Amino acid sequence: MRRLLFQGDSVTDCGRRDNPENPLGGGYPKFVAETLVKQQTPAELINRGISGNRVRDLRARWAADVLELRPDLVSILIGINDTWRRYDQNDETTDAAFAADYRAILDPLAEQGVGLLLLAPFVLDVSNAVSRMREDLAGKQAAVRRLAAEYGTLFLDTDALFQDACREQMLPPAAFAADGVHPTEAGHRLLAKAWLRTAEGFLVRG
């Protein structure tokens, strides 16, 4: 049975630390798990997302919350707080620092041959204030895309995913994330469906 580990910030955490009876939280990891059960795909899912984390925080806890768990696949969604703190706390994470810390968490996994699925951070344009963050987030999104190509990992462009869904379903951005950052149930289900589609080849090989 393959061990799938989800890492990131509040989008991944989604209340999992507040409810011991639901260690996967209420977001996309839970919906991934439910689908795998229905498909009778054997897998052990672990959620170690922590609300508020930046990539530097992942790096600080990487040994205990990733390496020691010996996962077969690590899914990483991080970056929005690296951008957000620039605007709400005047605490910037430069694109270079972001990429360096991200590379540091990928290196030990790549050396061990662990499967990787990198999700680019996203925002939905629910207000001018949220849309303004794109000027900073774009550099983080580009860094994740470059690292995915360099390390040969699976990659999911979540920003494009949400923009396409809004256009195709003729729904406002708030339908998928009311504050532009934290997905609604519909947003999490969309993420889960795209995650499963992206990871399908890995899961089939299992």
Domain coordinates in residue numbering, the chain = 2-205
Residue with tokens 């951070």: 121
**Catalytic residue of the set 10, 51, 75, 82:** 10
- CB-based contact 146:103 (threshold 8 Å): no
Q: What is the pLDDT of residue 2?
A: 94
Q: What is the pLDDT of residue 149?
A: 98
91, two tokens = 């605490």
pLDDT tens for the chain, 206 residues long, are 899 999 999 999 999 998 888 899 999 999 999 999 999 999 999 999 999 999 999 999 999 999 999 999 999 999 999 999 999 999 999 999 999 999 999 999 999 999 999 999 999 999 999 999 999 999 999 999 999 999 999 999 999 999 999 999 999 999 999 999 999 999 999 999 999 999 999 997 75
The answer to whether 179 is a known catalytic residue is: yes
- CB-based contact 98:140 (threshold 8 Å): yes
User: Largest Cα–Cα distance of the chain, in whole Å?
Assistant: 47
**Catalytic residue of the set 18, 91, 107, 179:** 179
The structure's pTM equals 0.97
**Catalytic residue of the set 57, 95, 131, 182:** 182
- CB-based contact 5:74 (threshold 8 Å): yes
The answer to whether 10 is a known catalytic residue is: yes
Apex 98 CA angle, 67 and 81, nearest 5: 90
Q: What is the pLDDT of residue 205?
A: 72
Q: DSSP for 105-148?
A: HHHHHHHHT-EEEEE------SSHHHHHTHHHHHHHHHHHHHHH
Q: What is the pLDDT of residue 206?
A: 56
- CB-based contact 196:30 (threshold 8 Å): no
Q: Buried (b) or exposed (e) across 29-68, using 16+ Cβ within 10 A?
A: bbbbbeebeeeeeebebbbbbbbebbbbbbbeebeebbee
Q: Buried (b) or exposed (e) across 161-196, using 16+ Cβ within 10 A?
A: bbbebbeeeeeebbbbbeebbbbeeebbbbbbbbbb
Superfamily the domain 2-205 falls into: SGNH hydrolase (3.40.50.1110)
The answer to whether 188 is a known catalytic residue is: no
